[in-house]
Amino acid sequence: MTDAQNHDADPDPDADRAVIRDALGVGIGVGLYGVTFGALGPAAGLSVWQTCALSLLAFTGASQFAFVGVVASGGSPVAGALTSVLLGGRNVFYGISMASHLQVRGWRRWAAAHLVIDESTAMGVTRPTSHQARLGFYWTGITIFLIWNLTTAAGAIAGDAIGDPEAIGLDGAVAAAFLGLLWPRLDSAVPRAVAVTGVVLALLLVPFTAPGVPIILGGLSAVALGLVWGGRR
């Protein structure tokens, strides 16, 4: 990290507007995807308010989809929660990378932590100054949070009215959502090998374990392999 990233430089209005414009573009695009999660909640057996509460309180897309996917497949809420925590653990490292830029204390730290997701972090840590990092982080995080929760509510109400998820193909939407989240990250040999290994292990465990357990163990194996192979590289 350079000195320019550690310290605020004189604000550049044009650069600031560009950061905000990019943040809004990402925020709106990602936030609209919340309607998919909203529709899947009632399909998995959750009520409308439970689905909305997950988006409001958990607010990390992959973890939310994981919970719904495990419950929809017959797994226990505990297995779903463990899977969600496993996937959400990466946000700890995101928070560490953003802490020096945000420099928040007290209740503001808790509020900022709630906005630490893939997109807000990516839009923050890539900026040349801490001022622009804060702009990218907050504009992206707040935009996604507001739109994600609104579209979750809309999707949950619509999904509850639709009824049988298999009739319109919603039963396969969780897998499609995970593939969409994962695909852009498979940009080199190590991530591809880790992903394939985790998938194969999870599939092998399906006949012998309860729903949700293969995802947890496959995910843990992917984390272990990623640490080992990534460290060697």
In this predicted structure, the answer to whether residue 198 has a pLDDT above a threshold of 90 is: no
Six-digit token string for 114 = 């709630």
Quick one: average pLDDT of 28-35? Answer: 86
pLDDT for the residue numbered 4:
42
Q: pLDDT tens digit string along 94-151?
A: 888 898 899 888 889 999 999 999 889 888 988 889 999 999 999 999 999 999 999 9
Backbone φ and ψ for 89, nearest 5 degrees, come out as -60, -25
Alpha helices in the chain (DSSP H): 3-6, 13-31, 34-43, 48-57, 61-72, 77-88, 90-102, 107-114, 118-125, 130-162, 173-182, 189-205, 213-232
CA 58 to chain centre: 10
Name the pTM for this structure: 0.71
Identify whether the C-beta of residue 152 lies closer than 8 Å to the C-beta of residue 55.
yes
The pLDDT-based confidence of 2 (bands split at 50, 70, 90) is very low
Mean model confidence pLDDT for the chain: 81
Q: How far is CA 214 from CA 80, 135, 184, 197, in A?
A: 11, 40, 23, 12
Quick one: average pLDDT of 183-197? Answer: 78
Quick one: average pLDDT of 30-52? Answer: 88
Q: pLDDT tens digit string along 154-187?
A: 999 987 666 555 555 555 555 565 566 566 667 7
Annotate 28-46 with DSSP letters as a single string: HHHHTTHHHHHHHHHHTT-
